[in-house]
Structure 1
């Protein structure tokens, strides 16, 4: 298990120059925005605007804080996301504009290179166990103090686990939130 403390995460400018992203993990390590296999990051979005296009990439977006965002895709589809909606999966090479709903948001972005990796994201709020039988499992502690197989994760910390049989989760605090990201090679 590899632990990533919040203070050790890399902050970098967006591909389109409109803000900054906190990079949590990327593979291969040190990969750029043009050559990663998968990438997990958080962003603070303070203004409406177009999303950067990432050809050949699949993306999942989760609203972490704020009132939400409406995604207006170039083909006419619109999707509204907020703290209560499930993680939303879409092709990152689709043209899309983000329109904020009454103020800024913080979001979680998970991206994987189509044909090389697949990903799935789930938001969790309590103790239990998770399957981790193949690929990688990345856990991002958002709220509360978590125990991952007896290792502590504070809010903002993450853990990357190689294939195990299962992962035991414990949590303290009345408000708990953790995001689980399963990454599997295609």
Structure 2
């Protein structure tokens, strides 16, 4: 069987950042890798990729900034900072999910259709779509999940704890343990509970 070609993201992390990645293997043998710093907290054995520790990269169009939490074959999970009304870059051949972390609402326009998103809400759209965001308050942070068609697919759902086969992104912080936008990776400790977006990549 021919090996599938790996499609790189235009804003993917540099080789230096990838060299600093840490890896995990779940029970199914999947390799988890993130271009950030992993904190294994002794009080509760969480395996975290903290958004604040990931490299800050400018958007391709210069209208925002992003931090890559996780990247795999044809897939990426990142957190963006939006400080002003801005268009999104087009990513032909990709499927995208935009989940608002807050603290304020935004209006997202996708191919002319407007939708107001409150913190914790999300919407999915094709990478070819014409997308723009309007802030309804101050600067906000948002989670972005992107997968390349033909190489990977993704699905998201709200979760109050671990979901089998999924990565968890915190929608709200939990004191000193983790902040909104942090990625929690397997193995998950028993009793883990909170407000999460569960992301399945297949």
TM-score, normalised via structure 2 length: 0.67
- Name the CA distance, whole Å, in 1 between partners of 2:173 and 2:115: 26
- Name the CA distance, whole Å, in 1 between partners of 2:48 and 2:60: 23
2:118 matched to which residue of 1?
A: 82
Aligned ranges for residues 1-186 of structure 1 at < 5 Å?
A: 1=24, 2=32, 3-6=47-50, 7-28=52-73, 37-74=74-111, 76-85=112-121, 87-124=122-159, 126-127=160-161, 129-132=162-165, 137-141=166-170, 142-144=172-174, 154-155=178-179, 156-161=181-186, 170-171=191-192, 176-184=194-202
For the residue of structure 1 that corresponds to 2:198, the secondary structure is strand
Contact 1:62/1:108 (8 A) holds in 2:
yes
Report the Cα offset of residue 52 of structure 1.
Answer: 0.7
Contact 1:10/1:24 (8 A) holds in 2:
no
Residues 3-56 of structure 1 show CA distances to partners (whole Å, capped at 9, x for unaligned) of 44315422111111112111101124xxxxxxxx11111111111111111111
Task: Select the structure that is richer in strand.
Answer: 1
Residues 122-164 of structure 1 show CA distances to partners (whole Å, capped at 9, x for unaligned) of 232x34x5232xxxx2222342279xxxxxx6335424449xx
Contact 2:99/2:120 (8 A) holds in 1:
no
Contact 2:97/2:124 (8 A) holds in 1:
yes
Contact 1:4/1:24 (8 A) holds in 2:
no
Report the Cα offset of residue 112 of structure 1.
Answer: 0.5
- Name the CA distance, whole Å, in 2 between partners of 1:145 and 1:66: 16
- Name the CA distance, whole Å, in 1 between partners of 2:128 and 2:189: 36
TM-score, normalised via structure 1 length: 0.72
Report the Cα offset of residue 181 of structure 1.
Answer: 0.5
1:149 matched to which residue of 2?
A: none
Q: How much is the aligned-residue C-alpha RMSD, in angstroms?
A: 2.5
For the residue of structure 2 that corresponds to 1:144, the secondary structure is coil
Residues 102 and 41 of structure 1, relative CA distance in 2, 3 Å threshold: same
